[in-house]
Amino acid sequence: MKKFLIALFAILGSSLLALSDLSCSSHLNWLLEYRWVNDLYNDHLKTFFETKSFWAGLICNALAVLIEIFAPSSPKPVLKSYLNQLYDNLFNGAADEVRITVFRITKGYRLWPYFIWNNIRCIVKHFIKGTIRHQIMSFPWFPWKKYVAIYVRCGNPHRNGTMTIFKYPSDHDDVNGIASHVLMTQQKFSISLPNVKNIHIERYKKIEDIPYNHQQIVQTYMEKSFLKTFVQLKSIHSKATQIWAMPIVGEDNTWGVLVVDSLKNSNPFNDSHIDQSLELATNTIYTILRSV
């Protein structure tokens, strides 16, 4: 968000300064001659560019500088480095099998720029997979309500244009996914799920279209992972078989959830060393978030 605001104010400020320079000559007349700019707006635009555009440009550039100097730096780089180190130590860097994700709780309006940009980049893919409606329904429409979204991820990479967002659960009826379940219960959770990789879920529009013997496996997967709709399952790029999750709790509130998922058939989280290391990692993650 910090980089986005700096770029926005810098571009806007530079544009206004350039236009204020143009307004001193006749080069701006081409803009004011368009039919959609009527005489009333002609006068207002001329007045603005001739008297206020220069100062507005300076103010925008000054805001970009102030944000760069005084706005707090993002803890993402430090957190990403820590997760990569944890990843190498516990899973030997098995990037094709294990993934570590930190989900954060945040307000809806903070997610708007990221959500819009990510989905614009991959709108064709959503149409092909039939998940465009799910993406629209996932949009954080209420700016001041709590939502949960991916903050940092390492390991098995997710595809461009995807962004997991769901409402913060206020009761059990709102639970939708394992991270949501963990936030609701405020307890560590670990589960083994059936392997649905070879069913090729993306080929089917509805769960009823899947052959009956595979349909039961898919339904079991959805029930165990607290997914409410088939389209939501389709939107998940990496359909893990082993999942470990725990809330990231601070001094007086819950910041988010640490989720580790694996594509292995054997459960790596049965190893007490891995389980305890991940529990300690939630405390370290919160310390990093507070200290940077």
DSSP for 171-219, written as a single string: SGGG--SHHHHHHHHTS-EEEE----GGG-GGG-SSGGGS-HHHHHHHH
Enter the tokens of residue 261. Answer: 């998922």
Beta carbons of 282 and 249 less than 8 angstroms apart:
yes
Q: Is the pLDDT of residue 37 over 80?
A: no
**Residue 42 structure tokens:** 């002609």
Mean pLDDT of all residues in 174-201:
92
Evaluate whether 221 touches 232 at the Cβ level (below 8 Å).
no
Q: Quick check: 161 pLDDT over 50? A: no
Give the pLDDT band (50/70/90) at residue 194.
very high
What are 9-26's pLDDT values in tens digits?
A: 677 777 777 766 655 545
Say what the pLDDT of residue 103 is: 94
- Give the DSSP H/E element, type plus range, for residue 86: helix 76-91
pTM over 0.75: no
| Residue 286 token pair | 């919160």
Higher pLDDT, 48 or 238: 238
Q: How far apart are alpha carbons 191 and 243 in whole angstroms? A: 6
The pLDDT score that the predictor gives to residue 121 is 62
Residues with Cβ < 8 Å from 41, sequence gap 6 or more? none
